[in-house]
Chains A and B, each alone.
Chain A
Amino acid sequence: MMESIAHLSGAVPLAVDPVPWARAQMAFTLAFHIILVPLGVSWAAMTLIANYRAIRRHDVDALRLAQRWSKYMAVTFAVGAVTGTVLSFEFGLLWPQFMGKWGEAFGIPFAFEGLFFFIEAIFISIYIFGWRRLKPWPHFWTGVPIPVAGILGSASVVAANAWMNSPQGVTLDSSGNITDVDPVGVILNDAMPLMAAHMIIAAYLVGGFLIASVYAAGMLRGRMDHYHRLGLIISFTVAAVATPVQMGVGDGLARWVYTSQPTKFAAIEMVPQTSSDVPEVLLGHLSSSGQVEGGIAVPGLASWLSDPSTGRSTVIQGLDSFQVDGRPTIAQVNVVHLCWDIMVGLGTLLFLFTLWYWASWIFRRDLPRSRWFLRAAVVAGPLAVVTLEAGWTLSEVGRQPWIVYNQMKVADAATTNTGVWLTFVAVTLLYAALGTTLVLVLRAMSRRAREHDRFQDSDTPYGPGQPADETEVRSR
C-alpha cells in the first residue's frame, strides 16, 4: 500500500493522508443529509394531518397549509435525494475496501431502501399532481404511501448502520472473508430495532419542532391568525407526542449499548476503569493520562441506569479492559461523552417544554398563552437539530476505531487516493451553497405564497409543467 501511495503522490501534486479527510467528508455529508431526512420522513405525515382536517372540517386554512407543505416537502425531498445520491458515491469513493469486503452483507438493506425511496418519490409526485386532478378523498389516500415508505426506507438505511455496530448474518472463513450471508439476519441484526425506532422518532421530533419554530416565529411577528395557529399546533403536537416516546426508546438503546457494545458505553459514561457504583458525570472530560476531570458527578447513577435491577452495584466495563487499538482514543471519548451530555440534556429540556404544552391543553384546552412559549418554540427547532446531530455523532464516534464493530477498522477501509482533501473542500463548498440556497428558496416560496394567495403546483420539482398562461405571469 505504501508503494501505491508513493506512486500516487507523483500524480497528485498535493498528496495527503486520505483517512482523516475521508472521515471528515463522510461526516460532513451525512451531517447535512441527516437534517434533510427528518423533514422528508415526517413532513408528509404532517401534511396529511392538515389535509385530513381540511376535508373533514372544511377548513380552508388547513387546506392551504397542506398544499404549501406538500410543495416545501417536495423541495426538501429533492435536495435530500441529491445528497443521498452523493452518499451512494461516497461509500465506494471513500471506503472501497469496506465495500469490497462487506458489500455483500452491508449492501442488502440498501436494496430495500432503494425500493422504498422509489415509492416515496413517485407518490410525492402523484400527490402533488393530484391536488388539481383528483377528488379530495382519493387524493388524500394517494399521499398515505409517502410517510409509510419514508418510515420503511429509514428503517432500511438504519439497518445498514446498525449492522456496522452489530455485524450479524454472515459466515466468515478463517481469514475473515465472507463465505455465506443470511439476508434476514443482516437486516434484522440485534442493533436494528432500537436504532431504527430511535431514528424514525427523531425524524418526527426534529421535523415537528423545526416546522413549529417557523410558525411560532410568524405568530411572534403578529400573524396570530388561524392559519399560523394551525401550523403550530399540528407540528408541535407531532413533536410533543414523539419526545416522551423518544426518551423511553433512547433509554432502551443505551442499555443495548451497555450489554452489546461496551467500548462505546465506556466512552459514553467516560469510565476509565472497570468498576461498580459508577457516577454519572455531567460534562467534565478525560485528561491525557486517562482520568476523569471536572464535571458534576452524581454518585452511582450511571451504574443504576445501566441496570436498575442490580442498582448501584452494576459493573460497567472501563476503557482499560480493552486493547488500546480496539477502543476509542481519549479525544474520541471526550467527543462521545460531550455529545451524550448534549443529547440527553437538550432532549430532557425539550421534554419539559412539551410538558408545558400538554399541561396547557389539559387544563385550558388551548395553547399556552405566554409569548415566552412562542419564543421557546422558535428556539426548540434548532435545538432539536443540535440534539439529533449530537446523538448521531455519539453513535458514529463511539464505534471508533471500528467501521465494522470488532471486524474492520476505519483506517483499513479507506481509499488510498491522496486527493481526498480536494474533494472534501469541493464538497464542503458545494453543500454550503446548497444549504444556503435551500433556506433562501423555501423562504422565497413562502413569501410568494403569502403575496398571491393561490395554489400553484407548477413551481415545484415534482409538480406538473407550467401551463403557458402561468409562464407569462412568472416571467414578469
Chain B
Amino acid sequence: MSTAAAVLLMVAITFYAIFGGADFGAGIWDLTAGGPARGRRPRDVIEHSIGPVWEANHVWLIFVFVVLWTCFPEAYASIMLTLFVPLTIAALGIVLRGAGFAFRKAVTQLRHQRIFGGAFAISSVLVPYCFGAVAGGIASGRVPAGGAAGDPWNSWVNPTSIVVGVLAVCVVAYVAAVLLTWDAGRLSDEHMVAYFRIRAVGAAIVAGAVALVGLFVLRSDARYIFDGLTSRALALVVLSALAGVAAFLLLRGRPRRGARVAALVASGALVVAWGVAQWDYLLPETMTVAQAAAPTATITAVLVAAVLAALVLTPAFAFLYTLDQKSLLPDEGVDEARH
C-alpha cells in the first residue's frame, strides 16, 4: 500500500515537473526576450502558450503536498522544518509569478505590463531553482527522519542542491523552448519557430553539460543516488538523454508533434529516475517509504480521490483541448442569436 502511495506521489511530482516546469521555463524565456519592442513577438507566443491552463498546473503542486502530508506525514514535517528557507522563497515566488501573469494579461498599459511581466519572469527562475535545491537536499540525505529539523542552510546550500537546482532551471527552459517552438509553428510564425528552436538546442546542450557535472557531484556527495542512477535507474537516465536529443531532431521535421512528447518524456524520465534511484527510501538512508507511510485506510482514501480525479479530469481536459483547437463560431452563432 505504501508503494502505491509512493507511486502516486511520484506521478504528481512528475506531472508538476513537466507541466508546471514548462510554465516556469516559458517565464525564463520571457525574462530573456529583451526590451518591450524586441521581446514582443516571443512574449506573445509565450502568453498564447501558457494562457489557458497555467493555474491547473499549480494544482499538481498542491496535490504533491496533499499526498505527502497525508500519506507520509512525518517525512513531510521533516522536509518542511529543514528546508524552510528554499520552500518559503518558492512560495513567495509562486505568489509573485501567478499574480504577475494574471495581472499582466488584465492590464493594458505597457508600463504596468512591464512591472507584472518582470515579477512573472524573475520568479520563474527562482522557483524551479528552489525546488531543485529542495530535491537535492532530500536526495543527498540532508533531511533527518522523525519530524526533526536538519541544518537550515547546509540542507539546501550544498553541491547536490546547487547542481540539481541549476539542472532544474535548464531542463524547464529546454522543455518550454520545445513547446514554444511547436506553438509558434501552430501560429504559423516561422520566424518565432527558428527563434525558439535555437534556444531549445542551446538549453539542451547546457542541460546535458550540467547533468554530466551533476553525476560527478552526486558520486561524491550523494552516493546512494549515484549508485541508484547507475544501476536500477540507468534505463531511465538513458531514456531521458535519448528523448532529449530526439526532441530537437524532431523539431526540424514537420509535423513537429513528436517533438513535444519527446521533450516531456526527457524531463519526466529524469524526475522518475531520481525517484527510482532513491527507492526504497523516502528520505535517503534514514527513512524508507514503508516506515514513513500512514495507516492503510488513509492511503486508500487518497487513492480513491486520485482515481476519481483521473476519471473526471481526463475527459474534461480532452474537451478543453478540442475547444482550444475549434475555431470561433461566427458572431451571430453566439451573441446575435441571443439578442
Nearest neighbor of B151 in chain A, beta-carbon distance:
A11
Secondary structure at the A interface, as helix, strand, loop or mixed, is: helix
A12 closest partner in B (C-beta)? B152
A430:B62 contact, CB within 8 angstroms: no
- Interface-side segment among A52-60, A308-316, A323-331, A359-367: A52-60
Query: Given the complex, which residues of A lie within 8 Å of B235, measured CB to CB?
Result: none
Q: Is B84 an interface residue (CB 8 A)?
A: yes
Q: Is the CB of B51 within 8 A of A136?
A: no
CB of B312 within 8 A of CB of A82, answer no
- Take A92-B80, A108-B302, A119-B313 as given contacts and tell me if A182 and B63 are in contact as well, using a CB distance cutoff of 8 Å: no
Are B99 and A118 closer than 8 Å at their CB atoms?
A: no
Q: How far is the CA of A108 from the CA of B327 in the complex (A)?
A: 41
Give the contacts of A421-476 with B (CB-CB under 8 A): 423, 426-427, 430-431, 434, 437, 441, 444-445, 448, 455, 459-466, 468, 471, 474-475
Which residues of A have CB within 8 Å of B54? 461
Instruction: Let me know if A75 and B333 touch, CB within 8 A.
Output: no
- Distance (Å) between the CB of B21 and the closest chain A CB? 16
| Given A92-B80, A129-B52, A85 and B91 contact (CB-CB distance below 8 Å) | yes
Interchain nearest-CB distance for B185 vs A (Å): 14
B47 near A466 with CB under 8 A, answer yes
- A468 to chain B: which residues have CB within 8 Å? 44, 187
Mark the stretch among A95-103, A224-232, A398-406 that contacts chain B. Answer: A95-103
Q: Which residues of the other chain, B, contact A117 by a CB distance below 8 angstroms?
A: 59, 62
Cβ-based interface call for B249 (8 A): no
Indicate if A21 sits at the interface (CB-CB under 8 A).
no
Per the 8 Å Cβ criterion, residues 92-115 of A in contact with B are 92-93, 96-97, 99-108, 110-115
**A181 and B295: CB pair below 8 A?**
yes
Contacts A58-B339, A85-B58, A115-B305; A107 near B73 (Cβ below 8 A): yes
Q: A107-B69, A417-B84, A466-B47 are in contact. Are A475 and B110 (CB under 8 A)?
A: yes
Contact residues of B between 111 and 128, Cβ < 8 Å to A: none
Q: Are B339 and A130 in contact, CB atoms less than 8 angstroms apart?
A: no
The contact sample of 10 A-B pairs, CB cut-off 8 A, is A85-B58, A86-B94, A101-B77, A103-B77, A107-B71, A136-B338, A181-B297, A416-B81, A463-B51, A464-B324
> B51: shortest Cβ distance to chain A, in Å?
4
The residues of B that contact A119 with a CB separation of less than 8 Å are: 312-313, 316
Q: Using an 8 Å CB-CB cutoff, how does the interface string of A60-82 with B read, 1 for contact, 0 for none?
A: 10010000000000010111011
- Tell me which residues from 94 to 116 in chain B have a Cβ below 8 Å from any Cβ of chain A: 94-96, 98-99, 101-103, 105-108, 110
Known contacts being A78-B55, A448-B108, is A461 close to B313, with CB within 8 Å? no
Least Cβ distance of B283 to chain A in Å? 13
CB-CB under 8 A from B300, the residues of chain A are 183
Q: Please, how many angstroms separate the alpha-carbon atoms of A115 and B307 in the complex?
A: 10
Q: A residues within 8 A CB of B312?
A: 115, 119
Tell yes or no: B212 within 8 A of A by CB. no
Residues of A within 8 A of B108 (CB): 444, 448, 474
Interface residues on B, range: 35 or more
Interface on B for A, CB 8 Å cutoff? 40, 44, 47-49, 51-56, 58-59, 61-63, 65-67, 69-71, 73-74, 76-81, 84-85, 87-88, 90-92, 94-96, 98-99, 101-103, 105-108, 110, 147, 149, 152-153, 187, 294-295, 297-298, 300-302, 305-306, 308-309, 312-313, 316-317, 319-320, 323-324, 326-329, 333-335, 337-339
Give the residue among B59, B61, B187 with the most A Cβ atoms within 10 A. Answer: B59
The answer to whether B73 touches A89, judged by C-beta atoms less than 8 angstroms apart, is no
Q: Are A136 and B334 in contact (CB under 8 A)?
A: yes
Contact across chains for B47 and A434 when beta carbons are under 8 A apart:
no
Task: Determine the chain B residues whose CB is within 8 A of the CB of A96 once the complex forms.
Answer: 76-78, 80-81, 147
Q: Is A132 close to B, CB under 8 A?
A: yes
Task: Enumerate chain B residues within 8 angstroms of A180, measured Cβ to Cβ.
Answer: 295, 297
* List of B residues within 8 angstroms of A126 by Cβ: 316, 319-320, 323
How far, in whole Å, are A448 and B105 apart by their CA atoms in the complex?
A: 13
In the complex, whether A355 has a CB less than 8 A from a CB of chain B is no
In the complex, per-residue mask of A354-382: 1 if CB is within 8 Å of any chain B CB, else 0: 00000000000000000000000000000
Beyond A8-B152, A111-B66, 11 additional contacts (C-beta under 8 Å) are: A78-B55, A79-B102, A82-B94, A82-B95, A82-B99, A82-B102, A91-B65, A101-B147, A108-B302, A121-B59, A415-B80
Contact in complex: A111, B320 (CB < 8 Å) = no
Contact for B149 among A102, A416, A431, CB less than 8 A: A416
Task: Give the distance to chain A from B135, nearest Cβ to Cβ, in Å.
Answer: 16
**Known contacts A60-B338, A459-B105; is-contact A108 B40 (Cβ 8 Å):** no
What's the minimum C-beta distance from B144 to chain A, rounded to whole angstroms? 11
B residues less than 8 Å from A105 (CB atoms): 298
* Contact yes or no, B338 A54, CB < 8 A: yes
User: Which chain A positions have C-beta within 8 A of B323?
Assistant: 126, 129-130, 133-134
Residue of B nearest to A117 (CB): B59
Contact A136 B298, beta carbon cutoff 8 Å: no
B52 touches A111 (CB 8 A): no
**A125 close to B (CB within 8 Å):** yes
